[in-house]
Amino acid sequence: MIKPHGAEALNPLLVTNSIEHKHLLTEAEDLPSLLLTSSAAANAVMLGGGYFTPLPGYMNIADALSVAQKMHTVDGLFWPVPILNLTDDTSSIAGVDRIALRDPNVEGEPVIAIMDIESIEELSVEQKNIITEHIYGTLDKSHPGVTVFQAQGNHCVSGPIKVLNLSYFASEFANTFQTAVEIREDISARGWKKVVAFQTRNPMHLAHEELCRMAMERLNADGIAIHMLLGKLKSDDIPASIRDACIRKMVDVYFPENNVLISGYGFDMLYAGPREAILHAIFRQNMGASHLIVGRDHAGIGNYYGPFDAQAIFKKIPDGALEIEIFNADHTAWSKKLNKVVMMREAPDHEPSDYVFLSGTKVREMLSNGIAPPPEFSRPEVAKILMDHYQLTN
């Protein structure tokens, strides 16, 4: 199986030894504590599950700036996005070197991790803007990722952590959420060698389904891992539970048995386009995938990135920085001429009118009115789940 990023073995920071876990929970009762932001809590979950191997914890400002500007840490580890613990108030942890980190996303704000503080630094406005502009490509507050990052505090608390639980993901998405460790074990048990990962934060329409098939066939892959984001999105995105139901129904009805692995990960969407695409590649390598599908507007939003910027950035990274390979996909849509889904670059004789196109707004309007999108766009079983959801929420 493919090696993890920057290491010979995964480095999951979740404490699984019951004696050590109990000891740390007891210790946490007497430690000063810091309430995390949702983003920092999601970072803890990803560190806990091994997805962010080989990182030992949260980065300091020097590493964050180096990652933002050069795509590597001060020590030279290739990494595309700073993994930070930012807060606006450090008064509760001033002068101490070990603290409990509390989860803002679970009732009662339980301890999610224990942290050894290496530094507490203050990000200047200039430094925060440098990081923002390099990661998101803009300082525009209309960009949801920029808004979330800029709203976090300017105090950077760095150091290694030991993770005690995986927040709400393990309980709320018990049948879907998996750590990188668990996915590697699953892939190994299936005997798969070549595995294609498909990233999604949306329900999968027919074009997505066919894109997965194309990638599997062209790469002669053993299986595909549909890996869905389960964390926080922007307000008008479809909830994770609905996306999960849609994807499971599609796979149950339209894929052969035992060639699809459905799982999810606990992270808040960044909408950082090219930089987030590289992060996606790193943690898919860590979970054991040999290939990642990167399509049009991967991890993007609005018009902040070019349609294929997320593919182009992989041509700019150093040789050998990643072992995972990228399957570059074009926009896929139903061809009226050929009566099937095609990649548009592979249909040079087509005009726009030869495709079935529906805007997101139009699809939401149809679903809200109980009208199923055409079968050339969405499987009827999937459309039914989405119609039920929209009619309940409108």
Task: State how far the alpha carbon of 206 is from the alpha carbons of 16, 373, 374, 383, in Å.
Answer: 40, 11, 10, 11
Q: Classify residue 374 by its DSSP letter.
A: P
Whether 33 and 102 have beta carbons less than 8 Å apart is answered as: yes
Give the Cβ contact number of residue 124 at 10 Å: 11
Catalytic residue among 98, 201, 213, 248: 201
Going by C-alpha positions, the residue among 324, 314, 231, 321 that lies closest to residue 1 is 324
201 assigned to active site: yes
Residue 50 gets the label, from left (phi > 0), alpha (psi -120 to 50) or beta, of left
Residue 191: strand, helix, or coil: coil
The span from the CA of 377 to the CA of 392, in Å, is 22
* DSSP letters spanning 228-239: EE-S---TTSPP
The span from the CA of 373 to the CA of 351, in Å, is 22
Catalytic residue among 202, 248, 296, 364: 202
303 assigned to active site: no
The token duo for 61 is: 């400002």
Catalytic residues: 201-202
